[in-house]
Amino acid sequence: MLSRKIAYNTIISAGARIIGLALSLITVGLIARYLGQVQFGYYATILAFLYFFNVLADLGLYSVCLRDISRIGADEKKIVSNAFSLRFFAGLFFLGLAPVVVYFFPYPEQVKIGVLIGAIGFWALSNQQVLVGVFQKHLKMDRIIAGELLGRLTQLGLVVFFIWRDFGFLPIVAAFVGGALINFILVFLFTREFIPVSFQFDFIFWKKILKESLPLALAIVFTVIYFKLDTIMLSLMKSPVDVGIYNLSYKLLESLLFFPAMFVGLIMPLMSRYAIFKKDKFKKITQKTLDILLIFIFPMMAGIFFLSSKIVVLIGGDDFILSGGVLNVLIIAAGVIFLGVLFSNIIISLKKQKALTVIYGFGAIFNLAANFIFIPKYSYYGAAWTTVLTELIVTAMMIFIVYKSLNYLHSFKIIFKCAAAVLIMILPLYFLNNWHLFILAPLSALIYFVCLWLFKGVSLEEIMFLIKKDA
């Protein structure tokens, strides 16, 4: 049954993501402690630099591919094979440029060599990402999860070995590449269980899919400009220590963002199916999805705000205690991004990708200007608050576009019940702050959800609405 499949995929994805998040944080913690503030700043600079070239290779193919294969009667082999071929060679071209371009930047030699090594890992992840839609469409996310977890375990194992042997900075970058390659190879093999994906060069189809995907690709480029530009600007305007302090918190932010992407990604086939011809069902699905996201945003923001210092010290050690203050700011951005993931996918479902281009373009311009003003004076705090303001502006514009397209304003009334539950949840966080993180976190979460249930903030029936076959 469809309902059981969606429930299974949601549960297994959430559980595995928690494991993946733990592995990621352990890996980041080991790297931060081993490299220290300066070299961890260099490591973060390499990843941020490569991210720009990776997004140029994206071409907006993932979202359009997922939308199109979700249509009734879609030729999955043709769509996926051509999208994969496009991404494969675009990745070779754009990520091949990165090691050339970086030599025009005033970075140390180890950063430039690190970009050359790391480009291989980003190319592998780029190829893997375009295939994810196949598993979301067929509700077989356990395959994707297996690839991701084995990739993360590979990276962690290599990091532990390289630290034990004291191999230094560049092998740590190579560990990222090893994990990414394992992830891609496994996902590619798993994809062939459903679709005999291969290289296809239907240039007429390429032109058609690019015509639809390029507005979204441009929007993604703008997104990455304001999502990663702060790290590049910090690396050019401030010291690598500032970059390291900022990016430990930013890595935590990025780790959290898979949750809304995973959840909304599982709902995306339903949204695509009903967006055009069954608007009433579409509105109900998106409203319930919004309610569930809000239910998780509030305790996440409050919990991390009170536990931020404990979290960053646990991960990076005492050298990174200043990252706690940055995390308190960035967690606001995380909450807003949760909402942005939903509303951007609603816009894609409605085939309004061009609106996203305008929104993200404005966000990129604002972010660039604000970072130029605030980073020289306020360093990583300037970058963090600029991120918050940018996300608020972008998400507000998305909500407005959705309202104009549907003539329907999504309700945020569940916020009041969530806020009431959070006010009770923070009591142990404030008065028992000397308790260990691993006691306070689950205790406060339990208090929140019990209070929310007592306040009738959510019911099992509402959650099950999303996974009914006739939703």
Q: What is each CA distance from 157 to 48, 149, 153, 371, in whole angstroms?
A: 23, 12, 6, 37
Mean pLDDT, rounded, for 60-73: 70
* 23, 54 contact by CB (below 8 A): no
What pLDDT is recorded for position 457?
66
- The helix (run of H) or strand (run of E) holding residue 98 is helix 76-101
Q: What percent of the chain has pLDDT over 90?
A: 40
What pLDDT is recorded for position 8?
61
CA separation for the pair 19, 25 (Å, rounded) = 10
pTM of the model: 0.81
What pLDDT is recorded for position 255?
81
- Give 107-118 pLDDT, tens digit per residue: 999 999 999 999
* 452, 295 contact by CB (below 8 A): yes
Q: Pick the range with the lowest mean pLDDT from 10-14, 147-151, 232-236, 263-267.
A: 10-14
Mean pLDDT, rounded, for 181-209: 82
* 252, 25 contact by CB (below 8 A): yes
* 444, 429 contact by CB (below 8 A): yes
- Give 442-464 pLDDT, tens digit per residue: 899 899 988 888 887 666 655 55
CA separation for the pair 458, 460 (Å, rounded) = 7
* 271, 286 contact by CB (below 8 A): yes
Tell whether the model's pLDDT for residue 271 goes beyond 90.
Answer: no
CA separation for the pair 45, 140 (Å, rounded) = 35
Taking the C-alpha atoms of 34, 39, 44 and 45 in order, what is their torsion angle to the nearest 10 degrees? Answer: -170
What pLDDT is recorded for position 18?
77
Q: How confident is the model at residue 471 (pLDDT cuts 50, 70, 90)?
A: very low
What pLDDT is recorded for position 459?
61
User: Where does 357-424 show beta strands of DSSP type E?
Assistant: none
Half-sphere exposure of 55 (CA within 13 A, CB side): 20
Tell whether the model's pLDDT for residue 160 goes beyond 50.
Answer: yes
What pLDDT is recorded for position 469?
43
Token code pair at residue 156: 């962690």
* 151, 180 contact by CB (below 8 A): yes
Token code pair at residue 191: 């994809």
> For residue 183, how many other CB atoms are within 10 A of its CB?
26
Q: What is each CA distance from 76 to 5, 168, 215, 469, in whole angstroms?
A: 20, 45, 22, 22
Q: How confident is the model at residue 6 (pLDDT cuts 50, 70, 90)?
A: low
Q: What is each CA distance from 294 to 11, 271, 317, 371, 457, in whole angstroms?
A: 18, 19, 32, 29, 11
What pLDDT is recorded for position 233?
92
Name the residue with tokens 């893997």. Answer: 128
Tell whether the model's pLDDT for residue 354 goes beyond 70.
Answer: yes
CA separation for the pair 19, 346 (Å, rounded) = 29
What pLDDT is recorded for position 191?
83
What secondary structure letter does DSSP report for 321? T
- Give 424-444 pLDDT, tens digit per residue: 998 988 888 888 888 888 899
What pLDDT is recorded for position 268?
77
What pLDDT is recorded for position 163?
96
* 23, 149 contact by CB (below 8 A): yes
* 162, 175 contact by CB (below 8 A): yes
Q: Pick the range with the lowest mean pLDDT from 179-188, 201-210, 241-250, 422-431.
A: 201-210
Q: Pick the range with the lowest mean pLDDT from 92-101, 193-202, 323-332.
A: 193-202
Token code pair at residue 179: 């994990």
Name the residue with tokens 């998780």. Answer: 296
- Average pLDDT of the chain is 85
CA 186 to chain centre: 21
CA separation for the pair 398, 391 (Å, rounded) = 10
Mean pLDDT, rounded, for 87-113: 92
- Give 382-404 pLDDT, tens digit per residue: 999 999 999 999 999 999 998 88
Q: What is each CA distance from 82 to 98, 178, 229, 262, 279, in whole angstroms?
A: 25, 26, 31, 24, 31
- Give 237-251 pLDDT, tens digit per residue: 998 999 999 999 988
Half-sphere exposure of 38 (CA within 13 A, CB side): 4
Token code pair at residue 67: 């939308």
Task: Give me the sign of the Cα torsion angle 412, 363, 95, 177.
Answer: negative
What secondary structure letter does DSSP report for 319? G
What pLDDT is recorded for position 470?
46
One DSSP character per residue, 217-240 reads: HHHHHHHHHHHHHHHHHHHHHS-H
Radius of gyration of the chain (CA): 22
CA separation for the pair 262, 134 (Å, rounded) = 14
What pLDDT is recorded for position 31?
95
CA separation for the pair 151, 290 (Å, rounded) = 31
CA separation for the pair 172, 29 (Å, rounded) = 13
CA separation for the pair 298, 458 (Å, rounded) = 14
